[in-house]
Structure 1
Amino acid sequence: MASTPADRKAAESLKTEGNAFFSKGKFSAAIEKYTEAVTLCPDWAVLYVNRGMAARKLEHWGRVEEDAGAALALVGAGASERDAMKGHYLLGLAMAAGGQHARSKQHLRKALDAAREANDSIKDEIWRELASANYLLWQAESTARRIRHGDMRKELAALLAAQQPTDGSAPGANGTLELPNDWQELFKTAAVHDCAVEAPSTFTCPLTMEIFRDPVVTPSGRSYERTALLEHLKKVGRFDPITRQPMTEAQVVPNVSLRAAIELYLEEHPWGWGEVK
């Protein structure tokens, strides 16, 4: 049954009370108010989002997952784009808390794309959560690969020993048979994604010394992390930090090409997510 105008008015009042409790850090009380509002207006997505945000503070991940799913189920039936963005964000957090990093990555990616499209202030927070999910996923996959490669090395060495190799292989210093150099190179190549190296300097902001999250370009052609540059313009002066060329915030332009190149680099070198998480 659809909620009546009276139900909506009462639900709005309960939501306001819930928001007040949330702002004071009284998350359990906020959840109670949002729950009362949901009983009156079960088709109002923001109530699920708000309750999920409160449950997140308490690390009640089952509640978070349920509310995020309820909000996303209302997409196309009253839920706003911001509700959908936050729904994916919350679901991504819940998946990460449960160790489901691949699923977490999918939802956080959708949330980040939506936040960037709307230029929502939460985009930086989502980026860090996405980076964390990507890094944890890489760690799990890297550990599994190392174990698998180690087992394969032992099996191959055992086969060579059993066949009395005549290809020049000889026992190593520890008495075990070493693999031929060509085979060693194959394992080295296979491990390339598990060996961290320094990221290219072009992908690093000269102000933060960290890999870019949201790079912007100035009239001089220099790129900086958006938040760092805006802070410089506000607190230091209205000029380019490196060239000293006068400029204003209105002249800052998103460097979409650089951002895309960095994300491609991180996909190919996933250990790099550890520098931005």
Structure 2
Amino acid sequence: MTTTAADRKAAEELKAEGNALFTKGKFAAAIEKYTEAVTLSPDWPVLYINRGMAARKKGDWERVEADASLALGLVGGASESREAMKGHYLLGLAMGQRGQHERSKHHLNKALEAAREANDSIKDEIWRELAAANYSNWQTETAARKTTNSALRRQLLELMGKQQGDPLPPEWEALFRAASWQDTATEAPSQFTCPLTMEIFRDPVVAPSGRSYERAALLEHLKKVGKFDPITRQPITGGEESLVPNVSLRAAIELFLEEHPWGWGEVK
């Protein structure tokens, strides 16, 4: 079906009506408007994204998954587009609701990468959702490992003729401790936490002083406190343009979280 100029104009009007209804919290009515627009302009990916966003508010994850997939099918290789970013984001959320954690992480990571590239404000929201998905996955996996380890411990005690609750020989206890290192939460290294938020970095930037801060926290400081470094007091006159993304630190944190997934629970 070829979309005519008249159809596109009518679809734009319906989209605007849907957006107004969405803003008012009338999500079912917004979905109806977006659906009408889709019938007129089925090749316009933003309509599926908007309808998916409204469906998310209603908890209709089947609709979210379907619309996100349709939008991504339309944008094709244009992975840098805002529709692609939001499509991956919505699909990641839908996969998470279905318990498909690996697929969820894949799509949320693609959305986060695109949002960071565009410096889109949604990147913090995507990061938090990714953190929640990873932490939930770790909780599931660690519970399974603990169950397995408990069963193995019981079997060993029975084979040794011991009672439940009795200690195992030191060498066996050491093996169990070594096997459970990934399931034991500790404290994240201080170099991975922002001195302003005291939380694990999401988007670290380097100030002219050479110190790293969470981008949003430093920008808030510059706006509300003063145009100077929070620690060194060195002037920062260039605004956001003078802040350099700390790509190396971000990569190190991502590696740390991959190896210590309990750390996702500290991401806010």
Q: If the TM-score is normalised by the length of the shorter chain, which range does it land in? A: over 0.9
Alignment of 1:172-183 (within 5 A): 178-183=167-172
Alignment of 1:50-199 (within 5 A): 50-76=50-76, 81-161=81-161, 171=162, 178-199=167-188
2:231 aligned to 208, 231, 242, which one?
242
In 2, the alpha carbon distance for the partners of 1:95 and 1:60 equals: 12
Deviation at 1:41, TM superposition (A): 1.2
Deviation at 1:42, TM superposition (A): 1.1
AA paired with 2:83?
Answer: D
Total equivalences in the alignment: 266
**Distance change in 2, residues 1:239/1:80 (3 Å):** closer
Deviation at 1:180, TM superposition (A): 2.2
Residues 44 and 78 in structure 1, CA contact (< 8 A), matched pair in contact too: no
Percent identity of equivalent pairs? 71
In 2, the alpha carbon distance for the partners of 1:148 and 1:179 equals: 16
Deviation at 1:62, TM superposition (A): 1.1
In 2, the alpha carbon distance for the partners of 1:9 and 1:245 equals: 53
Deviation at 1:6, TM superposition (A): 1.5
**Distance change in 2, residues 1:251/1:77 (3 Å):** closer
In 2, the alpha carbon distance for the partners of 1:3 and 1:58 equals: 29
In 2, the alpha carbon distance for the partners of 1:23 and 1:113 equals: 27
SS in 2 for 1:74: helix
Residues 46 and 79 in structure 1, CA contact (< 8 A), matched pair in contact too: no
In 2, the alpha carbon distance for the partners of 1:79 and 1:41 equals: 21
In 2, the alpha carbon distance for the partners of 1:252 and 1:78 equals: 28
Deviation at 1:251, TM superposition (A): 1.2
In 2, the alpha carbon distance for the partners of 1:182 and 1:209 equals: 38
Match of 2:258 in 1: 267
Deviation at 1:218, TM superposition (A): 0.6
Deviation at 1:14, TM superposition (A): 0.6
**Distance change in 2, residues 1:15/1:90 (3 Å):** same
Residues 18 and 30 in structure 2, CA contact (< 8 A), matched pair in contact too: yes
AA paired with 1:155?
Answer: Q
Q: Does 1:227 align with 2:213?
A: no
AA paired with 1:183?
Answer: W
**Distance change in 2, residues 1:142/1:275 (3 Å):** same
- Of stretches 67-76 and 236-245 in structure 1, the one that deviates more from structure 2 is 67-76
Deviation at 1:20, TM superposition (A): 1.1
In 2, the alpha carbon distance for the partners of 1:216 and 1:177 equals: 52
Deviation at 1:219, TM superposition (A): 1.1
**Distance change in 2, residues 1:235/1:243 (3 Å):** same
In 2, the alpha carbon distance for the partners of 1:11 and 1:107 equals: 28
Deviation at 1:211, TM superposition (A): 0.6
In 2, the alpha carbon distance for the partners of 1:74 and 1:223 equals: 39
Match of 2:6 in 1: 6
In 1, the alpha carbon distance for the partners of 2:165 and 2:207 equals: 59
In 2, the alpha carbon distance for the partners of 1:187 and 1:61 equals: 40
SS in 1 for 2:205: strand
Match of 2:246 in 1: 255
In 1, the alpha carbon distance for the partners of 2:113 and 2:77 equals: 21
Residues 131 and 264 in structure 2, CA contact (< 8 A), matched pair in contact too: yes
SS in 2 for 1:103: helix
Taking structure 1 as the reference length, what is the TM-score of the superposition? 0.92
How large is the Cα RMSD of the aligned pairs? 1.6
AA paired with 2:194?
Answer: C
Taking structure 2 as the reference length, what is the TM-score of the superposition? 0.95
Larger gyration radius, structure 1 or structure 2? 1
